[in-house]
Amino acid sequence: MRFRKFRSLFLYQKMKITIIGLGLIGGSLAKDLRKYKFATELIGVDANDIHANQALEMGLVDELATLEQGIKDTDLVIVAIPVDKELEVLPKILDGIKNGTTVTDMGSTKKVITDKIRTHVNRKNFVPTHPMSGTENSGPSAALEGLFKEKIAIICDSEDSGPQHLALIEKMLQLLGMDIAYMSSDEQDHSTAFVSHLPHAAAFALANAVQAKEDRNIIFDLASGGFRSTVRLAKSSSSMWFPIFQQNNHYVVDSLDVYIKHLQQFRDALKNEEYKKLENLILNANKIRTILDGENPHFIKNEEKLVKLYTKKQ
């Protein structure tokens, strides 16, 4: 895994961008890409007519189009739909784009998707990307300006993407204020199983556990900020998260096994009144603060290479 930290800004040329999926991620991208003038024209595609029209009314996009219309004569296609739908849509996009069009996606799983288009004639036009950012809300109204700032974006299998397409996506992510990590698709799925998919699974399980209590109404009356922040992810869309778990089931199961082992250690320490052991478990968990608050030494600044690789012309 490699990291790159970008901070400088660039002047941008005319850029027609088509966003497929106008929910939280697609809508937030539209807001920022317009704000920073990276996009001079934004085309929206969404299978949900209500969401599509809402995005148009909100000014997230300049016009709506069908998938076939949206990918014609555009500079960049951004796919921001659930990963099961992406399996159907991505090959059609690569079939229909012109030679110079760059395609990227925002999906949380990568191995199944990259395997699907591995031998496609336009594979080099595709840059698999996963921005590690989001909220529990969905739909165009959930779109937020600055959602991606100071977050990490993962680019997968960069050696399989054409240098001009890779540079364009690096440039876009840099503009959004993101730091970039480079991984294989398999490594991405393994890593995000622990830092993204496991927390969602735990939140879903916690929400189900509390709702299963007979006196749950009293519990909810007592719910404090700590409980609400812990269970917040359980409000995330099932249409998004069910296919993520499905596609990354092997690594999610591995992460759950590790998590359950540590839960059992807490349970056993309490059950057996081993309070010194319980205190040590808490103190060990406290070490996460130094990890999360520290500057990652693996980031490498390399803005000059970004400028040289970006070859798009007016």
pTM: 0.85
Instruction: Calculate what percentage of the chain has a pLDDT beyond 90.
Output: 77
- Averaged pLDDT, 187-192: 96
- Averaged pLDDT, 119-124: 98
Please give the class, per CATH, of domain 189-293. mainly alpha
Encode pLDDT of 2-25 as tens digits: 655 544 444 456 899 999 999 999
Residue ranges of the domains in the chain?
A: 2-184+296-309, 189-293
Size (the chain), residues: 314
Encode pLDDT of 56-82 as tens digits: 999 999 999 999 999 999 999 999 999
- Averaged pLDDT, 88-112: 97
Q: pLDDT category, 301, cuts 50, 70, 90?
A: very low
- Averaged pLDDT, 123-151: 93
Does residue 30 carry a pLDDT above 50?
yes
pLDDT of amino acid 134: 85
CATH topology of domain 2-184+296-309: Rossmann fold (3.40.50)
pLDDT of amino acid 311: 34
**92-101, 131-140, 189-198: the lowest-pLDDT one:** 131-140
pLDDT of amino acid 153: 96
- Averaged pLDDT, 134-151: 92
- Averaged pLDDT, 244-260: 97
Q: pLDDT category, 294, cuts 50, 70, 90?
A: low
Does residue 162 carry a pLDDT above 80?
yes
pLDDT of amino acid 169: 97
End-to-end CA distance of the chain: 34
Residue-averaged pLDDT of the chain: 88
Does residue 254 carry a pLDDT above 70?
yes
Asked if 2-184+296-309 and 189-293 have one fold, the answer is: no
- Averaged pLDDT, 31-47: 96
